[in-house]
Amino acid sequence: MPHAAWTELEAAARRDADARIVDQFAADPGRLARMTVEAAGLRLDLSKQSWTKAGFEAALALARACDVEGRRAALFGGEAVNLTEGRAVLHPALRAPAGAAFRALGEPVSAEVEAVRAEMRAYAEAVRSGNETGATGRPFQAVVHVGIGGSDLGPRLIWDALRPLDPEIDLRFVANIDPRDMAEALTGLDPETTLVVVVSKTFTTQETLANAEAAKAWLAAALPAEGMARHFIGVTAAPEKAAGFGCGRTFAFRDWVGGRYSLWSAVSLSCVIGLGWDAFQGFLDGAAEMDRHFLEASLETNAPVLLALAQIYNVDGLRRPARTVAPYAHALRRLPAFLQQLEMESNGKRVRRDGSPVGRPTCPVVFGEPGTNGQHAFFQQIHQGPQVVPAEFVIVASTDGETSESPLWANALAQAQALMLGKSEIQARAELIASGASEDEADRLAPHKTFPGDRPSTAIVLDALTPQALGALIALYEHKTFVEGVLWDINSFDQWGVELGKALAKSILRDVAARAPAPDLDPSTAALLQRLIR
């Protein structure tokens, strides 16, 4: 570990703790230019972050000391960067232009990627045109996408962000094992015109299989047995299991595609059917452009690197354990949930790559809501609460493609400005007096109307929410997450923390079947189980 670089970053952060952000623009005239980056059509402004020029340079020095460039080359070179599972991590291969030459652990993979893309396109176009029909010869009018985690959040984000107001295909998603989720998805649909797409990397995920069984039963009640398989599509890295389950056709992806990084693959087949191939190709193209930027830009002008360094500075330098993401576009309302999985599942780790304790905070809690909704909820805390919560504003200049949404993005600019500037008690008191309050009333209310300010934020600006811009935005966050893992020296590509609860759930389900807790079950869980099965 580059201890000296970490020590210098922490020392710089201690010095910067007393340096107000707004004062840095006068102290450092080049600040705005240095901390503003254009990448793949996105504009990032990190000038409202807490670092001074010296802190910014200490963060860059840490990136160099941790060999971000070397680890980046290993990722794109298809090396086993997921060392606990011995796998390459090659989601960039899924969006690379035709003719790319990616290799996973030395094995060429780009031709296979292009072949699956061609299959996806052909099938989606057949469904959309009505050439691909169901068991009774009627064209499909609805798709029910069944998955969970990375098999749900990514495609759901794409659909919400890019769907037309009146889509040709009615695309619905089911993830929760609660039967209500499936019931809501199926309500109003006709089995004869409904296609079910089941997405599971291993085709063993308990929640997904339970929902798939429910969908299968719904179809079977209305369709002839010999044609039902036409309504059931599998997307998986285990095609033989999908075929055994009853899927009439499968689309494959490989184990070098992590679940939360898989939306570039056949995992998003439902979206390709719903949006059409051109939209999905634009989505891939935007991500590929961000890949090129990440690979080619210097660290000083590299958008994913700088976004990661801002978080590292807040989390490790200034001990700020949470971050909020506020997308000022209704179509991006799923972005905070998507980032929760991308970042917290990737980097919520306590040991380094060699198994030793990290010894410092890693991934912060990520939360958020669309602006302006969040302003009427948790923004109170980030403005006046005692904890400093860095904010990320994702701003879309035009959300309907025609007019400028100035009331929407003006709120984003105002919130970021208010977080930085704050309002002193003297200012609050003067305003109260000016509004007609008495001296006593002004003294009483001024503390309640005081804002500490000096609270950091980053702005990410998109001209419009096009498929290309969405692809670039998601790839930006993927690479940011990777860079943070490099700096913390953790494996961002396994998720063992998900497994323990799954294993224990199987044990508890056996107890449910037996109608009694196992003798070795802890008292609290046994009592809860007894209460629930009575």
pLDDT digits (tens, 9 = 90+) for 175-185: 999 999 999 99
Residue with the two structure tokens 């309500």: 187
Cα 354–chain centre separation: 27
Q: Which two tokens stand for residue 225?
A: 């047995």
**Which residues make Cβ contacts (< 8 Å) with residue 298, sequence separation at least 6?**
none
Residue 402, pLDDT > 60, answer: no
pTM exceeding the 0.85 threshold for the entire prediction: yes
**Are 296 and 46 in contact, with CB atoms under 8 Å apart?**
no
Of 107, 376, 439, 499, catalytic: 376
Determine whether 502 is an active site residue.
Answer: yes
Phi-psi sector, 149: left (phi>0), alpha (psi -120 to 50), beta: left
**Are 416 and 391 in contact, with CB atoms under 8 Å apart?**
yes
Segment 434-475, tens digit of pLDDT: 999 999 999 999 999 999 999 999 999 999 999 999 999 999
> What pLDDT does 178 receive?
96
3-state secondary structure of 6: helix
Kindly state the average pLDDT of the residues 211-228.
95
Q: Distance between CA atoms of 66 and 526, rounded to whole angstroms?
A: 47
Given 3-state DSSP classes, what are the helix, strand and coil percentages for the chain, each rounded to the nearest 5? 55, 15, 30
**Are 99 and 335 in contact, with CB atoms under 8 Å apart?**
no
Strands 103-104 and 107-108 turn out to be: antiparallel
What's the topology of domain 124-281? Rossmann fold (3.40.50)
Residue with the two structure tokens 């972050």: 49
Determine whether 349 is an active site residue.
Answer: no
Of 107, 184, 499, 502, catalytic: 502
> What pLDDT does 534 receive?
73
**Are 284 and 264 in contact, with CB atoms under 8 Å apart?**
yes
Q: Distance between CA atoms of 314 and 361, rounded to whole angstroms?
A: 10
Range name among 286-300, 377-391, 509-523 with the lowest pLDDT average: 509-523
**Are 268 and 455 in contact, with CB atoms under 8 Å apart?**
no
Determine whether 499 is an active site residue.
Answer: no
Name the strand (E) or helix (H) holding 215. helix 206-220
DSSP character for 97? Answer: P
Domain boundaries, the chain: 124-281, 499-533
| pLDDT grade for 219, boundaries at 50, 70 and 90 | very high
Q: Distance between CA atoms of 440 and 433, rounded to whole angstroms?
A: 10
Helices (H), 86-109: 91-95
| pLDDT grade for 510, boundaries at 50, 70 and 90 | very high
- Dihedral angle sign, alpha carbons of residues 172, 175, 180, 183: positive
Q: What is the DSSP string of 353-373?
A: TTSSB--S--SPEEE---TTG
3-state secondary structure of 251: strand
Of 79, 343, 345, 484, catalytic: 345
Angle at 265 between CA 394 and CA 119, to 5 degrees: 135
Q: Report the percent of the chain where pLDDT is more than 90.
A: 93
